[in-house]
Chains A and B, each alone.
Chain A
Amino acid sequence: MSTEKSDLLQGTLDMLILKIVALGPVHGYGISLRIRQISKDVLQVQQGSLYPALHRLEKRGWLEAEWGESDNGREAKFYRLSAKGRKQLAAEHSNWDRLSEAVHLVMQTAQ
């Protein structure tokens, strides 16, 4: 059903954001850029989902935000992982590993 799919996507997006932010303070544009680059253009995050997700994560206390100067000297809002976010990332990471392992197993057996 559609709701389950979007839940999965949303959850995944949150995890990806946390992972990217874990690499160092970064602004919204930087996050979408890196996801695109690292996934070799397979994953394209829509801004319409990125910013609500960022704000939701900030509100939950997993991200902390601060205004700062970007590489080219413009003001940007930088996100940083909080201690709580780090724990969350670890939990989601291991959860994801188990899930993808399981999916992988099922798909292989089916072959």
Chain B
Amino acid sequence: MSSWRQVFRKPAPAELDRELQFHIGELIQEKVSRGMPPVQARREARLEFGGAASIREELNDVHRIPILDATLTHLRYAWRTLRATPTFSLTVMVTLTLGIGANTTVFSAIDAVLLRPLPYPNSDRLVLIEEILPKVQAGLQQQIAPTRLEDWNRLNATFEAISGYYTEDTTDGTGDDSAAAVGESDPPPMKIRRAYVAPRFLQVLGVSPALGHDFRETDTHFHGNAPRSVLISDRYWHNHLHADPGAIGKPLLHANGSLIVIGVMSPGFTFPEEAVDLWYVDTPDAPWAQDRRYNWYTGIGRLKPGATEAQARANLELVQRNLARQYPATDAEVGVWMRALKETTVASARSSLWLLFGAVSLLLLVACTNVSALVLARGMEREREFSLRISLGASRATILAQILSETLLLAVAGTIAGLALAAGSSRVLAAMAKSVPRIGEIGFDWRMFVYSAVCAITVALVSGLFPALRASAASPAGALARGGRTQVSSRRPARWAMVSVQVALTVCLLSGAGLLLRSFESLWTIFPGFDASRVLAFRVTGAYREFGDVPKLRQSFFRTMDALASLPGVQTVTASRTLPGAPSKFPIDLTSPDSGLDPATRMTADVREVSDGYFSTMGIPILAGTPCGRRTDGILVNRTFVSTYFSGRDPAGHHLVINANSPDALKAAILGVVGDAREFGLNSEIRPTAYWCAPVLDPGRYYLVRTAGDPANLASAVRQRMHTVEPGRAVYDLAPLKAHLSEAFAEVRLRTLLLSLFAATAVSLACVGLYGSMSYVVTTRRREIGVRMALGAGRKQIGLRIVAPGMAVTAAGAAVGLLLSEWSARFISGMLYNVRANDPTSLSAAVAAMLLVALLASAVPALRATRIDPIETLREE
């Protein structure tokens, strides 16, 4: 028999009645058997038994659970009290709604991006694999050659399977852009992103199509020009195939019968990228896939159950060492690089998200202190009430429970409102933070409920406990004796401490926001070494397969350049593999055998592949030598390169070898020197850079068009011209370069914006807290002020007396806040550009803003104090 069951088992009312009825029945029978007439016996038995109702009542008392009852009573009482003071309750609720809402929103993002496992079964066993060339290129990883990928998959002992993928942009559904027969009058083709995957792709991820089936064995073998199988995204299925289940097994409309749909992926499947709409399986036995020097796969692998990442790495390295013996010419230098798939997916967003989480946690803390201060103030107003209740026999625990249930009630209300806020704002966040990986996975689920519930309880305890302890320690005699005729001294150190804590936290948030704002502003105000204005940038679809015919590719490339250059309003045209100014990294080791430099000197430079006309289009000055031309094959270096590696000597005429030790080493002459430009990210330091005048650029290249006027005005003309010249290709990402760059820094902008928003919220909360405290002071000191005025104190003096302590507390808080900012600056120093973490401008601006707000918040109550009528207050006595 468990005693718990005994405690909670409550007999049904009917059962109690039956028990009592039996007793009465026995009494009647006893009397009847003694010879009493039944009617009289019944009456006497009832009289003797007494009121059944009162017994039932007593029995109910026996079965009542005291704690539960007390809690209900407390909550009911708290509800009545809170309803009696709507201003107080509303202020607290709004404060908590903001605090908890912001916190839960950021948590939902952290949960979706960082905490939750990737949306594949046993996704902790998924790893990303690439090649590294430790001797050629320390730390630089590269894609995997298809035959090598097959070898790794076949020879390892620690993976269930290894696969790989690469992506490219193409035109709508067509197998080959150049082959597409499209008339000039047809609408321009749409861009579509496709992924080429190695065999076993879905098997590694552990998913299957929502409709149809995975690639079959025969799909993974080369069949020349036979139709190929393709998996399509749910989005493509809806937009282009009207979600027709009969599409499976049929050819894609626009692909000239070359593609057969075999399956539709589920809507949530976004691997390797959200934008991918088509998945083709690549055939490892295709003739072009046999050269072990040409690599294009990013590898993914699923570890066997129980195998660790370290074991897998060691195993794969062993496999590769054996391959190196087998193929010394191509595999000797190749090593294995491996990391958990989730880590490689989300690492970029981690610091931003935790920064925001830190900021909203500070904000919640500000909200807590605010509520705490408000509850504290109310506790003082209610001192008499509590004293009365204590002297009437209430225990201190009762008072404590009372105040805690009030804050709990408020916290719960704030949480519900906060959850509603978070539900809306997490959707807004997901829409704004498109560049953050996995942000689309934000969902409103039980974790958010649990998290905000934890928030609510924490808030209730943090903000309620201290005031509750103080109030329950009230001495009944003291407060009652004072009788509300308030004393002169109303020094409340605890209250002021709350205010200064708020100020300190707010200053910390403000200075963080200030630093990010200054840093963000620097991105656009500091001249990056190239001219991004009046440049229109766009891309054109193209396939890697076109590299099979380089002369034809070059021909089409030059035709495009010429067609664009002849457009009215266009000054120059060029192309670049990456967008100038957008963050990217492409460090390559170089050697220069004929420059007389110590051969042991390791030269590392970022390599940019650019075409004819690049420097004039981007406004980068040629300091010496000649720029790239259409027929020239050479390298230009920037000034930093020359000063770093050539000690300022003219490098012209010497040769540089890119990837010196690798089979596809590339040797080119240095044509000249150009000015420094921050092309690898507006916010990165200038590094030694080598511009390679590439004979032909990758399909994903950007075309850059310098215009005479506003580049946006030329967009439609460019689109039209492209449609005429290259009707089979789609033009996309068409926008002024400045807009592209703004997009490239969207995450930086978002975190700056959000941090500023949180700081502003903190300021307004601190303002409310300060105002509340000052108002309270004025209210409780009415009499004292009246007396002072009656004795001849001037209004200015009175005002100062009110404002001065508030400002002193603010100043103290601000000083602590500065120390706090100094300490917390380490967390954002990595995100700052052109601003140091202890930047005096940001810090002093934060303090000044805080002091100004504090002055405003205390001016209103101070003004009220100066308007106090001495006669009236004295008469109140």
Which positions in A face B, CB cutoff 8 Å? 27-29, 32, 46-48, 51-52, 55-56, 58-61, 64, 70, 72, 74-77, 82
Within B11-31, which residues are at the interface with A (CB < 8 Å)? 11, 15, 18-20, 22-23, 25-27, 29
CB proximity of B21 to chain A, nearest CB, Å: 10
B61 touches A52 (CB 8 A): yes
For the complex of A and B, list the 7 residue pairs with the smallest distance between their C-beta atoms, beginning with the closest.
Answer: A29-B26, A52-B58, A55-B62, A29-B23, A77-B19, A76-B22, A56-B62
A51 touches B19 (CB 8 A): yes
* Chain B residues closer than 8 Å to A32, beta-carbon distance: 23
B1 touches A82 (CB 8 A): yes
Tell me the bound Cα distance from A28 to B29 in angstroms.
15
A-B contact count (CB 8 A): 60
Pairs A–B under 8 Å by Cβ, sample size 25: A28-B23, A29-B22, A29-B23, A29-B26, A29-B27, A32-B23, A47-B23, A47-B50, A48-B50, A48-B51, A51-B55, A51-B58, A51-B59, A52-B55, A55-B59, A55-B62, A55-B63, A56-B62, A61-B1, A61-B6, A64-B1, A70-B22, A74-B22, A77-B18, A77-B22
B3 lies within 8 A of chain A by Cβ: yes
B54 lies within 8 A of chain A by Cβ: yes
The proximity string for B residues 29-45 relative to A, scoring 1 for CB distances below 8 Å and 0 otherwise, is: 10000000000000000
CB proximity of A97 to chain B, nearest CB, Å: 28
Tell me the bound Cα distance from A64 to B15 in angstroms.
15
* Chain B residues closer than 8 Å to A27, beta-carbon distance: 22-23
Tell me the bound Cα distance from A27 to B428 in angstroms.
69
A48-B6 contact in complex given A29-B22, A29-B26, A55-B63, C-beta closer than 8 Å = no
B449 lies within 8 A of chain A by Cβ: no
The proximity string for B residues 51-82 relative to A, scoring 1 for CB distances below 8 Å and 0 otherwise, is: 10011001101110000000000000000000
How many interface residues does B have (CB within 8 Å)?
Answer: 25
B62 touches A52 (CB 8 A): yes
In the complex, residue of chain A having the shortest beta-carbon distance to the beta carbon of B25: A74
A46-B50 contact in complex given A70-B22, A75-B18, A77-B19, C-beta closer than 8 Å = yes
Tell me the bound Cα distance from A68 to B762 in angstroms.
69
Tell me the bound Cα distance from A29 to B63 in angstroms.
21
* Chain B residues closer than 8 Å to A55, beta-carbon distance: 11, 59, 62-63
CB proximity of B555 to chain A, nearest CB, Å: 96
A75 touches B50 (CB 8 A): no
Tell me the bound Cα distance from A61 to B63 in angstroms.
13
* Chain B residues closer than 8 Å to A70, beta-carbon distance: 22, 26
The proximity string for B residues 755-795 relative to A, scoring 1 for CB distances below 8 Å and 0 otherwise, is: 00000000000000000000000000000000000000000
* Chain B residues closer than 8 Å to A52, beta-carbon distance: 55, 58-59, 61-62
B392 lies within 8 A of chain A by Cβ: no
* Chain B residues closer than 8 Å to A56, beta-carbon distance: 62
B22 touches A75 (CB 8 A): yes
With A48-B55, A55-B11, A74-B22 given, name 17 new contacts (CB 8 A): A28-B22, A29-B22, A29-B27, A46-B50, A47-B23, A47-B50, A48-B51, A51-B20, A51-B55, A58-B6, A60-B6, A61-B1, A61-B6, A64-B1, A72-B29, A76-B22, A82-B1
From the candidates A29, A48, A76, name the one contacting B54 in the complex (CB within 8 A): A48
B19 touches A28 (CB 8 A): yes
Tell me the bound Cα distance from A52 to B26 in angstroms.
19
A47 touches B49 (CB 8 A): yes
Tell me the bound Cα distance from A76 to B21 in angstroms.
9
* Chain B residues closer than 8 Å to A47, beta-carbon distance: 20, 23, 49-50, 55
B7 lies within 8 A of chain A by Cβ: yes
Tell me the bound Cα distance from A70 to B58 in angstroms.
25
CB proximity of B14 to chain A, nearest CB, Å: 12
A48 touches B58 (CB 8 A): yes
The proximity string for B residues 163-200 relative to A, scoring 1 for CB distances below 8 Å and 0 otherwise, is: 00000000000000000000000000000000000000
In the complex, residue of chain B having the shortest beta-carbon distance to the beta carbon of A46: B50
Tell me the bound Cα distance from A28 to B18 in angstroms.
12
* Chain A residues closer than 8 Å to B59, beta-carbon distance: 51-52, 55
Tell me the bound Cα distance from A81 to B742 in angstroms.
83
CB proximity of A96 to chain B, nearest CB, Å: 24
Tell me the bound Cα distance from A82 to B54 in angstroms.
28
CB proximity of A79 to chain B, nearest CB, Å: 10
CB proximity of A99 to chain B, nearest CB, Å: 26
Which one of B3, B18, B19 has the highest number of Cβ atoms from chain A below 10 Å of its Cβ? B19
A59 touches B49 (CB 8 A): no
CB proximity of B15 to chain A, nearest CB, Å: 8
Tell me the bound Cα distance from A48 to B26 in angstroms.
16
CB proximity of A17 to chain B, nearest CB, Å: 14
B62 touches A59 (CB 8 A): yes
* Chain A residues closer than 8 Å to B27, beta-carbon distance: 29
In the complex, residue of chain A having the shortest beta-carbon distance to the beta carbon of B22: A76
B22 touches A59 (CB 8 A): no
In the complex, residue of chain B having the shortest beta-carbon distance to the beta carbon of A76: B22
B3 touches A61 (CB 8 A): yes
Tell me the bound Cα distance from A25 to B15 in angstroms.
18
Tell me the bound Cα distance from A33 to B653 in angstroms.
124
